[in-house]
Amino acid sequence: MGNDDQTFNTKIIPLRTKIDNIDSQILSLLKQRHAQVEHVVKLKKKHQIPVYHPAREEDLISKLRIQAQNANLDPDFMEDLYRVILRQSRVEQTGQMEHKGIRPGAKVLIVGGAGQMGRFFASLFLKSGYDVKILTRQDWDNAKQLCKNVDLCLISVPIEKTETIIEQIVPFLEPKTLLADLTSIKTKPLEKMLAAHPGPVTGLHPIFGPTSGSLDKQIIVVTPGRDSDSCKWLKEQLTLWGGIIVESSAAEHDEIMEIVQALRHFATFCFGQFLYERGTPLERTLEFSSPIYRLELGMVGRLFAQDSSLYAEIIFATPERRNLLKEFISSLSQHFEMLEKNDKDLFISKFKHIARWFGPFSEQAMRESTFLINKLTERF
Amino acid sequence: MGNDDQTFNTKIIPLRTKIDNIDSQILSLLKQRHAQVEHVVKLKKKHQIPVYHPAREEDLISKLRIQAQNANLDPDFMEDLYRVILRQSRVEQTGQMEHKGIRPGAKVLIVGGAGQMGRFFASLFLKSGYDVKILTRQDWDNAKQLCKNVDLCLISVPIEKTETIIEQIVPFLEPKTLLADLTSIKTKPLEKMLAAHPGPVTGLHPIFGPTSGSLDKQIIVVTPGRDSDSCKWLKEQLTLWGGIIVESSAAEHDEIMEIVQALRHFATFCFGQFLYERGTPLERTLEFSSPIYRLELGMVGRLFAQDSSLYAEIIFATPERRNLLKEFISSLSQHFEMLEKNDKDLFISKFKHIARWFGPFSEQAMRESTFLINKLTERF
């Protein structure tokens, strides 16, 4: 084998060197591409043309797929590769975009600006040239001073404190100040803001964690309150930072959030609790599992990596939510008899009804989750 | 603006041409890289050296990260890009590897070979040079002939038919034949195989759908039955196809599958049923949602895109499973009072217990799911 090893090494080393060489050339081309894209961005900004153009991206992907096919390379591979490349330039471009302020110099007061979400918005406003002030628990003696001439007062405090804080801050505000909150429920805070403050009012709910680092493609629900003309600049600013604005009434928002937040997190909590009760051997179940189970268990684990009181607030926020969750528990009990009687036919008939109701979303979900499972298998 | 448009176009067109040019060069380098990798694979095969070498991959990634940094490119971007490139060559290499047979020419009979999973294994064995026969519902008159001299008889029929089919096929088998099944429960089928067949026996449970297309990195649970020496080649063959073998007793397997399959799918079913009962506006909830909700709702939708009777079989498979699910329903009922009494403190205390029990998995789940959320945001 010694001799054979030597032959192998003599042959493989030059091949590896060639590959390394090719990789260096790819790197250098990526560098050149990067520089050219920067020129394009500068030019577009000068001519006030939107930097990111989805249509052009899709055209490019189509063209590259054809080129790949002609060169006998897998077009899916080429697409995956360029999705990475295009994403990178998009991220860099938005990074440059984000700084642009609609009303640079305007005064923004963030009440609760020491919390995670408050800090996140403070840094966005700061980077865009706003005059940002923070009001934390310790600053109430100074509230009058802090509220002077404020253009936007943004309430970013825990759910259970929102209404009290609104009451406390409003006496210091001028009528022209735009008052907005970031609470994840909207009916009560909006009512309170409208009752307490005579000026422009809007509710906001950023549907993402402050850990995302950017507003790019993040959803913000806007529940209009009063004088929407005076609130327009704020929506424009959020859009310019990459956010996607969804308008809704406070009532619709809260009803949907009962499902999207409370029910979902409660169901996950119940699942985790049951695994814990039974002392399920988690590690061993993972050894036995497909990537999709790992992903689903990951969703459960993810909940419990986060702050318990945050989730208590979300789940117990309103009597309506608690009622919904009680209904959920009752809905589960209906299946007890089906299991008791081993009634597969009933299960199948229920299953088919639900499947019909889910409609095209199921197919789409199948495709999306398969895409993710592949990503997961590839990485880990 | 007309004049301005013209200036813009005059300037941007050459820049775009340059980028297109760079992309063509990248494509051509990828093509060259591909060719070099093929040389390496051939050489490795000739010298019987494993083709895929994770350590070399990680070395390469580290080197490229440093090179990227030196060239002022984002090292994470470079890593993402090369994960795509390396994955592609791995897929192509395993594609070539998969064909290798441990016992080419050996006779394999697949009972239920017309089903999806049966067809999947039939095609793997065929590609690796085995002599593959299929026995479907219509072929029982011919069973004696089909079973003659068979080296491996693989049972691939729906759960509820497994035991009957084992009883029916065994009289035709020779004692030397290795008998194996692919059922997703193991205790009963394994008992039945051991009781009916005097020769080598092993239980298998491939933990993945037949739609995956390849065995690469897929888990197969092996529950040994009798004469494991005679079963060894089969395990080696599965490994060579890229499968990951997890050994377990039939009892442990079934207990874990109660959680991994029955409980999980049942919980998802209940969630879907409740959304349906309430007529939740799915589309609108998605407009309001973070990528992680989309992902979680996708897991629910995914279930209902699949075959109702398959899930009925999984959920109702054994009395033990049905009992577990009844316990799950009861476990949920315990939370009714907590909601009724608005007892946030109890919730928080339970939450913290579960979080402690989940331990390091939670952190890991947080990281993994964040990675996936980014992939999702990037793609859609």
| Top-confidence residue, B186 or A244 | B186
- Give the architecture-level CATH label for domain A2-96: Up-down Bundle (1.20)
For A158, A218, A281, B24, B356, the CA distances from A306, given in Å and listed in that order, are 15, 20, 22, 46, 12
pLDDT tens digits for range B164-222: 999 999 999 999 999 999 999 999 999 999 999 999 999 999 987 666 667 877 889 99
Residue A101: CB atoms within 10 A of its CB come to 19
Chain A residues closer than 8 Å to B74 by CB:
88
For residue B380, what pLDDT band results from cuts at 50, 70 and 90? very low
Judge if A107-248 and A253-379 fold alike in CATH terms.
no
Instruction: Give me the residues of B, 314-373, that contact A with CB < 8 A.
Output: 315-316, 322, 325-329, 331-333, 335-336, 339-340, 342, 344, 347-348, 350-355, 357-358, 361-366, 368-372
The question of ipTM being above 0.85 is answered as no
Task: Indicate the domain borders of chain A.
Answer: 2-96, 107-248, 253-379
Average pLDDT over residues B224-237: 95
Cα separation of A42 and A48, whole Å? 10
- pLDDT per residue over A276-325, tens digit each? 999 999 888 888 877 778 788 888 998 998 889 989 988 998 999 999 99
Q: Model confidence over B290-337: pLDDT tens digits?
A: 777 878 888 899 899 888 998 998 899 899 999 999 999 999 999 999
pLDDT, position B266: 96
Contact A267 B272 (CB under 8 A): no
Interchain contact, B22 vs A4, CB within 8 Å: no
**Which one, of A352, A345, A288, lies nearest residue B185 by Cα?**
A288
Exposed/middle/buried for residue B228 (C-beta within 10 Å: 0-12, 13-18, 19+): middle
Integer Cα distance of A345 and A330 in angstroms: 22
Q: What is the mean pLDDT of residues A157-175?
A: 95
Those of residues 86-145 in B touching chain A at CB distance below 8 A are 87-88
Question: CA–CA separation, B376 vs B150, rounded Å?
Answer: 47
Chain B residue numbers with beta carbons less than 8 Å from the beta carbon of A292 are: 299
* Contact state of B358 with A298 under an 8 Å Cβ cutoff: no
What's B242's DSSP letter? T
Contact A191, A173 (CB under 8 A): no
Rounded to an integer, what distance in angstroms lies between the CA atom of residue B362 and that of residue B356? 9
Q: How far apart are CA B347 and CA A277, in angstroms?
A: 15
The verdict on a CB contact (< 8 Å) between B309 and A348 is: yes
Contact B129/B173 with Cβ under 8 angstroms? Answer: no
- The closest of B214, B118, B213 to B162, measured between CA atoms, is B118
Q: Which CATH superfamily is domain B2-97 in?
A: Chorismate mutase (1.20.59.10)
Q: Do B332 and A15 touch (CB under 8 A)?
A: no
Is A74's Cβ below 8 Å from some Cβ in B?
yes
Rounded-to-integer distance, Cα A57 and Cα A55, Å: 5
The contacts of residue A175 (CB under 8 Å, 6+ apart) are A197, A198, A199
Strand pairing of A201-206 and A178-181? parallel
Cβ contact B350:A308 at 8 Å: no
Distance from CA of A350 to the nearest CA of B (A): 8
What is the phi/psi pair of residue B233, to 5°?
Answer: -60, -35
Tens-place pLDDT, residues A330-374: 999 999 999 999 999 999 999 999 999 998 888 777 777 777 776
- Nearest residue to B289 (alpha-carbon basis) of A321, A92, A206: A206
- Nearest-angstrom CA–CA distance, A337 and B152: 42
For residue range A84-123, what is the model confidence (pLDDT) as tens digits?
Answer: 888 887 777 666 655 778 899 999 999 997 888 999 999 9
Question: In this complex, do B281 and A316 lie within 8 Å of one another by their Cβ atoms?
Answer: no
Query: Which CATH architecture best describes the domain A253-379?
Result: Orthogonal Bundle (1.10)
The residue ranking higher by pLDDT, B284 or B51, is: B284
Regarding the domain delimited by A107-248, which CATH topology (the fold level of the hierarchy) does it fall under? Rossmann fold (3.40.50)
How confident is the model over B82-108, as a mean pLDDT?
80
Neighbouring residues of A113: CB distance < 8 A, sequence distance ≥ 6: A119, A121, A122, A132, A133, A134, A135, A136, A156
Strand, helix or coil for residue A199: coil
pLDDT at residue number A54: 58
